Structure 1
Amino acid sequence: MKVQKQLGIGALACALVWQLTSGTMVFAADSTLTLSSQETITSGATLKNYVWTTTRSGKGVSVNANVIEVDLTNPNVKIDAMAGTKNQFTKNQSVLGMVKDTGAVAGVNGDFFNTQAEGVPEGAQITNGQVMSTPAKISGLYSLAITKDNKPIIDIFDFQGKVTAKDGTSFDLGGVNKTYYWDDNGVAMIADGLFLYTSAWAMNQRAVDGTHVPTEALVVNGIVKEIAIDTNVKMIAPADGYILRGSGLARDFIVNHLKVGDPITTKYDMIPHDLSKTYDWKNFKMMIGGSTLLVDEAKPSYFTRNIGDFSGYSPRSRTAVGYSKDNKTVYIITSDNSGSSKGMTLPELQQFMIQAGVWRGMVLDGGGSTQLVSRPLGDFDPKLTNNTENGNQRAVANGLGVYSTAPQGELKGLILQGQKVLFVGESSAYQFKAYDDYYNPISVTSVVPQWSSTMTNGTFKDNVFTATQPGKSQLVAKSGKGTATMDVEVVGRDQIQSMKFSAGSFSLTEGGDFKLPLSVTTKSGVTRDLPPNSAQWELSGVKGSINDGILHVDSTAGSQTAQVIARYDGFSSMVTLPIGQEKVWYDLDHNAVMTTSDKYPAEVVSNVNIGKEASGNKTLDITYDFTKGSGTKAAYARFDGAYGTPVAGEPDFISAKVLGDGSFNWVRAEVIDADGNSNLVSFTENMNWTGWRKVTADVSNLKFPIKIKSVYVANPANGQDERAMKGKVSIDDISFIYKGQMPTLPKNSIKLTVNNKNATLNDKSMTLEQAPTIVNGNTLVPIRFVTEALGGNVKWNDQERKVTVIRGDKLIDLWIDNPDLLVNGDRVTAEVAPKIMNNVTMVPLRLISEKLGFKVGWEPIKQGITLE
């Protein structure tokens, strides 16, 4: 988002030219708030996780939201403002970093800030009773404060200040620890302004905007110690002093009225905008700034800022704070725009806050800045709790922290950690955490619990439980007053609902290694990956081996497909994989086409070169500089000029090796389809790695033949400030992967008649050992005859009385007199169980035909059956 003076402002970061919008109240329709979980963080602070649903543009959406409730009446907890690294401005860092630095047990990001400046909050901040910054002279900005009596306040504060020289001349003070900004009228406050900087400003330079040259004065213990005309004082302000920075008229005041050795008087005040109110701000325990008011008296407030300037009407991640009607509870709030959680508009956030209990509340910075950190019960280290909008933790200017002030208590409880679903023969170590009477963690180094289980389906050795047979059990750990339990299910065949390969779509190639993960879902609805060593593996169609769940293909030997069967405790699943071919199209060592550099927009700097690794391998290097220009930016490697290079055949995937630069930029390919349309396919939309990585993009849905026109690095306009503006990406081995064809099943036809042993196969007469028959309204047919005639295979396991049927990519396991069948890893229940008649296995026609893909015809008068 761009604001006046072409100042680059990140999503929901400091927008400095806002318009006051009054009377705006938009209601979210049909919203429902559901508490999904809650956990005590410390005495007086509880984390609640909500799912908020509403209707947006006629469609239902769901949002994950988090609320930390802080009890202001509890003497063992407090909230305070945090800043940068070690509570210093200009040293932005993530919320997790600030929480760890300050010893907080939880926290969120705080005020809006200018991402292009030094990194200081827009509004006021008081930390531990000390003023770190004062309000900007911008209308409609609210702040949260806690009084000396532990009462919350959310209100607008104005700043007044004055510096008086020895000769009696005074000059208005613009603020404390402020970076450059513009007021509501677009006036640059720094142009003629005088500003004060304390030791909290951790840079030798102050408010550098590239336009206004500073003149500065160092003041220590009320005495002018140094004056730097048209330059800056080369130091950070000392703890017992401050630095005055001025330009324009303020420069003239410093030059003409201040002298080294003279005393100087500086006074300032933060007063409520509503002059009917009185606050003792000098005794505030804490204060943090925000933007528009959202909730007033448990109703949506009109917006005190133009929320369109910071995406207020778009669903984004959000951060907010508020308090209850009785002034006893502070609510610290985040909502996520990530994955299936669809973020909130500010009108929606208003509704959520009211439903969560907020009486009066305001918005904090959001979007890519939204981060919620909390310390899990029993843990010493805090963790990121929410899912951030762009998958990374943005460095922000300040935050709102939650702190425990409780003394060390006695052991109160234990928390077990470990696997809740086990497989037979699997061993799992169980750990535990401990917490005291104030819900703060206790070191477990001296705690030795007693371990036990309520059932005999496993054994303990120290803290390691080994599952020996299927069934449910409860694991128990005891130590002193602390007891913890955990329900554990040992899964066997009877507990499994499905077992599926989750490898995704790919084609096998000789010499390749292919991971074959197995996912098991129990009847109780729990899903877990099956440890590869717990399965028995079968491989057919290719020569190779399966070790630790990875298929290595030695030779395809002309096969069209490979079949992999995995079995666990008699439960089976199969995946049929086509034999494909990967063809390297571009690698500079052996295959290349004319490659040129291009860019968008014109201000972007981009170069394409041939790089060379230490091994001698050549690479395609794209160097980019996105610091200039606006909108989406891109650096291209063009192939064969503007027309692109034809690609043979109909590949399913395009792949490349990419040497990432950790920039979070996108890497894409531009592919032209048969209609001449340009298709942008993404290798990655979050290049968060360094080093080489193979990436793949799907092109199977394009209209063939296709051409590849370019590969390129892109920095889209949305969230642009969260990505690196300069960098270099190397690309090698651009390949196309072609899928092999699945073998065609025989086009045979079978005719059968109920209660008649005569049958025909492709018009050839045959005599069955057992005629089709009807049992309880279900037609049963001889499975071996039918399957083998239609191109399948049947295996009989006499010990288990089990039949295994494989036809094409379908696998069925069935047991005599058992209505439960396993069909491609799914448990299916038939109306009639398979039966043996005259030593022939008979199975329900309807179920088998549906699952094996038979086409069935029925002639009701003669009870004739046609299968093909």
Structure 2
Amino acid sequence: MKRIISSIVVCVLVYLSLFTSNHFIHEVKASSSVPVVYWDGMQLLKGQVGRVDVIKPINLWKRVGGKLVFERVLKPGESYRVYRYDSGFGGQYGLGGAYFVTNMKDYIQYRTPSRAKLLLVNPELNGTKKISLGTVTKEEAKVIAPGVTQSKLTVDGSSGKQAIYKLDVDQKASQITFETSLAKDQMIGYETVSSQANRYNEEGRYVIGGVNGDYFDSNGAPTDLTVHNSELVTTNKTPIKDRVIFGVGANGKAMIGSPDITIGMTVNGGNNYPINSVNKRRDANHLVLYTPYFASTTMTNNLGTEVILENISGTLNGNNKVVATVKEVIVGIGSQSLQPGQYVLSGHGAGSEYLKTLKEGDQVEMNLSYDLSQWNNVQQAIGGRYQLVKNGVVQTYNIAGAHPRTAIGIKADGSVFTIVLDGRQTDSVGVTLNSLAKVMKDFGAVEAMTFDGGGSSTMVTKQPGTTDLSVVNNPSDGKERSVANALFIVMLSSTNPEKEPTPEQKEEIITGTLMIESFEGITNWKATGAKYNTVAVQLEKVYVKEGKQSLKVAYDFIGTTGTSGVYASKDQPITLKGKPLKIGMWVYGDNKGHWLRAQLSDANNEKVQLDFTKNVNWTGWKYVEATIPSGLQTPYKLDLPVRYMQVEDMKKNKGQIFVDSIQAIYED
């Protein structure tokens, strides 16, 4: 908790003057100048630094004249936007205006969005940030998919100008995952990152962005461990002290480490014999397993023995076993064809002599395990070279030279970001490994590593409204270099993000909160009602919760009998996108005890009454919600957003309420 508080204090010292808004978490502001950005299932508002979730009942306080005045008790499960933090009264989070909640361990939990997201709604923060390389003179950011933010930082420092391209990935976001790729879908060969990305797109699985991957041999083979969709592609070549691997575990969690895999085989239940590598060059006395991922053939000479395996079952990955049948034993020929559904065991020297003992029909069993158990059944893995940050500590290297760099990092909350830093250019000179390590720490990495750099450093993204992925950085070769493999950010979705979504497609992915009516500008609202003397609605500029205007709803029910009501509506019903679960609004109550409702109709024109409260017993602003019943057919239409009613003749009176920020609430 102390570490969390420290990070908050640092944030506040930099941005305190911006965070003076007076709105709670349920409020949403519609503005043409500020983009709609969602974070953690809600809309991020200008000035917001984070949110608090209530774990145990805790007091909400109002600061009046330097003292705390009790307001009410916040209940477990409630969440509120946070606009500031200060040390007053033992340390308190500001929920807007004069309202605060005390920082009490185990009673509330504080969370904060990435700075990239903060910049989207607070662009004036550009140019105020310093990192270890120097002053950030410009920072641009945009959301390119739910949970994926692309940004570019321009830095001016003592070593020169730098251009940093960054992708932030919230792995908690629905449908977002990572996936490795291979040039031309095999170990041997080269292909640009953008070509790989565009080729990997397919129905239901869309590449959003990515970067180049591992270092590679002269034939294009990636150097170290590669796993694609839970299948081992190749094993390590680099010694453990010099290699580092990025992986996504079976639980979906990102990790960085130096795992190695052990593979042994038995024939007909006999003694175990080691397999030295998978899809690597066959060295002296080695036994190598080749799969169709390698190339069209094993590319071996005739100084050995090769065994073709078929009827393969099991997953070729750690903590698994693979069973196969010997189809053929071939001695002294080499370069056997690699066919789909088949593996080839290839041995030289001692490995060759062992394979000569096999015969057609033998059953081969291969057992695989990682030396680090958390890597067993790893879903995706791709190699690199230098671990820049380890357990939160910046690592140092005695390696000179400023160059373009590609790196990936994992933050304390498990979220991932990857960067490409241009180099060898006037507007971006590049960095040393030590400087790169500090930059990754600046961005919040507790674990970080490099991928291949130099002319290979490439970032591609798919921009809204475009059909293909394209390079966003400036590779130092002057053009995109062909590389061995890449790491992609993938969205699993039934909606193709490459196509401009239709309204129906957009509805499928709506989450969080969507503004229905903010009452900014000219609106065509009217008043109707029942059993009244007078009713009226009009725009209001004094009693306003958000923005510059709200809607005043006035009524006079005095002396009437029966059910009285004033109804506020637009000339045409408001059509709601997607399938919201609730309707919410801010209401300035008049404490007259009336019934607040709304009327909604579904696609079958079934009329439904939504209850916000049966007793408006407060004066001042309060947020209220009404649940939409299940079983209705979309699209929904909000016929009467406000119905203010009284059914008891003894309670008839007159008054006015004010309504602001009507919104639809969707599933997070």
The Cα of 1:234 is off from its aligned counterpart by: 3.1
1:73 is aligned to 172
> How far apart in 2 are the matches of 1:166 and 1:149?
34
The answer as to 2:480 corresponding to 1:393 is yes
Label 1:438 to 1:99 Cα distance change in 2 as closer, same or farther (>3 A): farther
1:333 is aligned to 419
1:517-528 correspondence to structure 2 within 5 Å: none
Give the counterpart of 2:191 among 93, 105, 113: 93
The Cα of 1:359 is off from its aligned counterpart by: 1.7
Query: Does the 8 Å contact 2:148/2:170 carry over to 1?
Result: yes
Counterpart amino acid of residue 53 in structure 1: D
> How far apart in 1 are the matches of 2:269 and 2:238?
28
2:369 is aligned to 269
Query: Does the 8 Å contact 1:122/1:178 carry over to 2?
Result: no
The Cα of 1:412 is off from its aligned counterpart by: 13
1:539-550 correspondence to structure 2 within 5 Å: none
> How far apart in 1 are the matches of 2:340 and 2:498?
44
> How far apart in 2 are the matches of 1:165 and 1:413?
56
Query: Does the 8 Å contact 2:410/2:446 carry over to 1?
Result: yes
> How far apart in 1 are the matches of 2:264 and 2:346?
13
1:685-704 correspondence to structure 2 within 5 Å: none
Label 1:332 to 1:437 Cα distance change in 2 as closer, same or farther (>3 A): farther
The Cα of 1:130 is off from its aligned counterpart by: 2.0
Query: Does the 8 Å contact 2:132/2:439 carry over to 1?
Result: no
5+ residue gaps, structure 2, are 1-130, 202-206, 312-323, 511-574, 578-668
Deviations 1:572-623 (A, max 9, x none): xxxxxxxxxxxxxxxxxxxxxxxxxxxxxxxxxxxxxxxxxxxxxxxxxxxx
Give the counterpart of 2:436 among 326, 349, 362: 349
Counterpart amino acid of residue 139 in structure 2: S
Query: Does the 8 Å contact 2:495/2:505 carry over to 1?
Result: no
Give the counterpart of 1:260 among 360, 380, 401: 360
The answer as to 2:290 corresponding to 1:197 is yes
Query: Does the 8 Å contact 1:412/1:435 carry over to 2?
Result: no
Deviations 1:172-209 (A, max 9, x none): 111222236xxxxxxxxx22211111121232133x5x
The Cα of 1:379 is off from its aligned counterpart by: 1.4
The Cα of 1:228 is off from its aligned counterpart by: 2.3
> How far apart in 1 are the matches of 2:468 and 2:174?
23
Query: Does the 8 Å contact 1:316/1:343 carry over to 2?
Result: yes
Counterpart amino acid of residue 366 in structure 2: T
Label 1:437 to 1:295 Cα distance change in 2 as closer, same or farther (>3 A): farther
2:554 is aligned to none
Query: Does the 8 Å contact 1:165/1:263 carry over to 2?
Result: yes
The Cα of 1:292 is off from its aligned counterpart by: 1.8
Label 1:433 to 1:383 Cα distance change in 2 as closer, same or farther (>3 A): farther
2:134 is aligned to 31
The answer as to 2:382 corresponding to 1:288 is yes
The Cα of 1:302 is off from its aligned counterpart by: 4.3
Label 1:75 to 1:237 Cα distance change in 2 as closer, same or farther (>3 A): same
Counterpart amino acid of residue 376 in structure 1: Q
The answer as to 2:307 corresponding to 1:220 is no
The Cα of 1:411 is off from its aligned counterpart by: 13
Query: Does the 8 Å contact 1:123/1:135 carry over to 2?
Result: yes
Query: Does the 8 Å contact 2:405/2:421 carry over to 1?
Result: yes
Give the counterpart of 1:238 among 332, 335, 340: 340
Label 1:161 to 1:299 Cα distance change in 2 as closer, same or farther (>3 A): same
Give the counterpart of 1:371 among 449, 458, 463: 458
The answer as to 2:167 corresponding to 1:64 is no
The answer as to 2:201 corresponding to 1:111 is no
Secondary structure of the residue that 1:157 maps to in structure 2? coil
The Cα of 1:150 is off from its aligned counterpart by: 2.0
5+ residue gaps, structure 1, are 1-27, 181-189, 273-277, 415-431, 441-479, 483-868
1:838-849 correspondence to structure 2 within 5 Å: none
Counterpart amino acid of residue 419 in structure 2: I
> How far apart in 1 are the matches of 2:247 and 2:369?
15
Q: Percent identity?
A: 24
The answer as to 2:148 corresponding to 1:45 is yes
2:493 is aligned to 406
Counterpart amino acid of residue 391 in structure 1: G
Label 1:438 to 1:91 Cα distance change in 2 as closer, same or farther (>3 A): farther
The answer as to 2:154 corresponding to 1:154 is no
1:652-801 correspondence to structure 2 within 5 Å: none
Query: Does the 8 Å contact 1:411/1:481 carry over to 2?
Result: no
Q: Whose Rg is larger?
A: 1
**Aligned-pair Cα RMSD in Å:** 3.2
2:350 is aligned to 249
1:125-164 correspondence to structure 2 within 5 Å: 125-136=226-237, 138-140=239-241, 141-164=243-266
Deviations 1:625-653 (A, max 9, x none): xxxxxxxxxxxxxxxxxxxxxxxxxxxxx
The Cα of 1:81 is off from its aligned counterpart by: 0.8
Counterpart amino acid of residue 388 in structure 1: P
Deviations 1:503-546 (A, max 9, x none): xxxxxxxxxxxxxxxxxxxxxxxxxxxxxxxxxxxxxxxxxxxx
Query: Does the 8 Å contact 1:317/1:366 carry over to 2?
Result: yes
Secondary structure of the residue that 2:355 maps to in structure 1? helix
Deviations 1:39-66 (A, max 9, x none): 222111111111233323xxxx111111
Secondary structure of the residue that 2:166 maps to in structure 1? strand
> How far apart in 2 are the matches of 1:354 and 1:434?
42
Query: Does the 8 Å contact 1:143/1:154 carry over to 2?
Result: yes
Secondary structure of the residue that 2:473 maps to in structure 1? coil
Label 1:435 to 1:139 Cα distance change in 2 as closer, same or farther (>3 A): same
Label 1:170 to 1:51 Cα distance change in 2 as closer, same or farther (>3 A): same
> How far apart in 2 are the matches of 1:410 and 1:172?
46
> How far apart in 1 are the matches of 2:423 and 2:503?
32
Secondary structure of the residue that 2:371 maps to in structure 1? strand
Label 1:381 to 1:436 Cα distance change in 2 as closer, same or farther (>3 A): farther
> How far apart in 1 are the matches of 2:133 and 2:403?
19
Counterpart amino acid of residue 253 in structure 2: K
Label 1:316 to 1:297 Cα distance change in 2 as closer, same or farther (>3 A): same
Query: Does the 8 Å contact 1:33/1:352 carry over to 2?
Result: no
Secondary structure of the residue that 2:435 maps to in structure 1? helix
Counterpart amino acid of residue 78 in structure 1: T
The Cα of 1:410 is off from its aligned counterpart by: 11
Secondary structure of the residue that 1:349 maps to in structure 2? helix
Label 1:29 to 1:223 Cα distance change in 2 as closer, same or farther (>3 A): closer
Label 1:145 to 1:29 Cα distance change in 2 as closer, same or farther (>3 A): closer
> How far apart in 2 are the matches of 1:93 and 1:409?
24
Label 1:164 to 1:79 Cα distance change in 2 as closer, same or farther (>3 A): same
Secondary structure of the residue that 2:445 maps to in structure 1? coil
> How far apart in 1 are the matches of 2:497 and 2:192?
33
The Cα of 1:136 is off from its aligned counterpart by: 2.9
Query: Does the 8 Å contact 1:338/1:388 carry over to 2?
Result: no
Label 1:389 to 1:173 Cα distance change in 2 as closer, same or farther (>3 A): same
The Cα of 1:38 is off from its aligned counterpart by: 1.3
Label 1:201 to 1:62 Cα distance change in 2 as closer, same or farther (>3 A): same
Q: Which has the higher contact order (CA 8 A, sep 6+)?
A: 2
Counterpart amino acid of residue 192 in structure 1: N
Deviations 1:401-453 (A, max 9, x none): 01112343999999xxxxxxxxxxxxxxxxx999946899xxxxxxxxxxxxx
Label 1:136 to 1:30 Cα distance change in 2 as closer, same or farther (>3 A): closer
